[in-house]
Structure 1
C-alpha cells in the first residue's frame, strides 16, 4: 500500500441500525484515499452531499481500535475499542450530543493481491443517555486504478 499520497479507493459503506425491533440500513458510496502512517491505517472520503453540507470522514484503524472522525456539517470524533466503553461528542446543525459507545467488534483486513479491503465495526450507541441502537458498519474498499 502506498503511504505518501494514499491509494485511490472506491468506498462502499453499509450501516445497519437495530433499535427496539426496528431495522434501518443506510448506504454510502464514495471515492477516497487509503494510506498508512506508522502502525495506523487511514481511510478518508467525503460523504455524499447532504442537505446540511459537506462532511469529510476519516477512519483510523490501529490494532483492535478504530476512530471515526467527521468534519464539516457534522463533527464527531469517537474512539471504538473492542470490548470497551468510550465517550465522545457528536455535533450537528441541531447542537452537540454526548455519545457513549460499547464496542463489540473492530475488524480490518487489506488483501494486497486483490487490492480490496474490508472493515467492520459493531457497537451499541447511547446518545444523551438514551439507547440509540446497535450499529453494524461494514465497509468494502477497492483500489481504483487511474486507467479505469
Structure 2
C-alpha cells in the first residue's frame, strides 16, 4: 500500500443522483484534491464549486463502517452515514440552518492499490426539516494523479 499520510494528489469525481418520486436529477462535479491515510481511516479533501464565486472545502472521512462528509464554506455541515441507521445533523447556508436526517441503506468503499483508484458509494433517504425529500445516491470516484 502506498503511504499517503502526507497526502497524495487525487482527482475526485462526484456524481449526485436525487430521486423524488418519478423525478430524477443527476449532477456531476470534477475536482482536484488530496488523499490521506491515518491508521485504518482514509480522508479525501477537495474544493467544491457551488456557484460562480461560492466554494466549499469538503472532507470525506471513511472509517470502518461509517463515512462522515464535512463541508465548510458557502454551506456548512457534518453529515454522518452508517448503514441501516438514521443520523441527524444540521445544514447551514445563507438561507439559515436546516435540520437534516439521513437513513443510509448502502455504504460501500473500495480502493485498488494497483490501479491507485477507488470508489465510495452512499445511498440514503434524506429528510429536511421533517419532510422527506427523496432518495439520494452519492458516488465518489477517486484517482491518484
TM-score, normalized by the shorter chain, greater than 0.5? yes
Does residue 116 of structure 1 match 2:117? yes
Q: Which residue of 2 aligns with 1:99?
A: 100
The answer to whether the Cα contact below 8 Å between 1:29 and 1:48 also exists between their aligned partners in 2 is no
The number of equivalent residue pairs is 144
TM-score, reference length from structure 1: 0.93
In the TM superposition, residue 52 of structure 1 has moved relative to its aligned partner by 6.0
For residues 88 and 29 of structure 1, do their structure 2 counterparts lie closer, same or farther at Cα, with a shift above 3 Å needed? same
CA distance in 1, matches of 2:110, 2:91: 27
After TM superposition, what 4+ stretches of structure 1 lie above 3 angstroms from structure 2?
A: none
In the TM superposition, residue 49 of structure 1 has moved relative to its aligned partner by 5.1
For residues 63 and 4 of structure 1, do their structure 2 counterparts lie closer, same or farther at Cα, with a shift above 3 Å needed? closer
Q: Within 5 Å, which residues of 2 pair with 1:1-148?
A: 1-48=2-49, 50-51=51-52, 53-144=54-145
CA distance in 2, matches of 1:117, 1:126: 28
What stretches of structure 1 of length at least 5 have no aligned partner?
A: none
